[in-house]
């Protein structure tokens, strides 16, 4: 089965840049989506198709995807960005959706 690997936690100071990675075999050939989940709330889409942003999501959120690693980048981090972030792909060979284990972003 296809596996996505995320670091359990990332810490960053306010106004700095946070980078959250999502590793997978040849993930660069897949479309990666990212969801933000604040404590006690449902997930919210923040980046889709590797690097596109839904309406209403700040430009500070961006994404990239190449070879075996996809990255969610949050620039000028704010306290309100503190949340869990989950990456997701559709795995064609198995016809399964796959989520990474999630990364807790802490704003110091």
Partner 1 sequence: QVQLVESGGGVVQPGRSLRLSCAASGFTFSSFAMHWARQAPGKGLEWVALISYDGNNEYYADSVKGRFTISRDDSKSTLYLQMNSLGPEDTAIYYCARGSSGNFAFWAYWGQGTLVTVSS
Which residues, 45 to 84, sit near partner 1 by CB under 8 A? Answer: 45, 48-49, 54, 84
Q: Is 2 in the site for partner 1 (CB under 8 A)?
A: no
Q: Using an 8 Å Cβ cutoff, are 30 and 39 in contact?
A: no
Residues 4-43, mask of contacts with partner 1 (x by CB under 8 A): ---------------------------x-x-x-x---xxx
> Residue 78 corresponds to which tokens in the numbers above?
């704010």
- Among 65, 64, 61, 63, CA closest to 77: 61
Read off φ and ψ for residue 28, nearest 5 degrees. -60, -20
Tell me the window of 20-28, 57-65, 66-74, 87-95 that interacts with partner 1 (CB under 8 A). Answer: 87-95
DSSP 82: -
To the nearest whole angstrom, how small is the minimum distance from the Cβ of residue 73 to partner 1?
18
């Amino acid at each position: 089965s296809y596996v996505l690997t995320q670091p359990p936690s990332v810490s960053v100071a306010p106004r700095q840049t946070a980078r959250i990675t999502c590793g997978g075999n040849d993930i660069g050939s897949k479309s990666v989506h990212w969801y933000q989940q604040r404590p006690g709330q449902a997930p919210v889409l923040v980046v889709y198709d590797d690097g596109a942003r839904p309406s209403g999501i700040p430009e500070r959120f961006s994404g990239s995807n190449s070879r075996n690693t996809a990255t969610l980048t949050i620039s000028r981090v704010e306290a309100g960005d503190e949340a869990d972030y989950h990456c997701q792909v559709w795995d064609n060979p198995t016809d399964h959706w796959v989520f990474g284990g999630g990364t807790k972003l802490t704003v110091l």
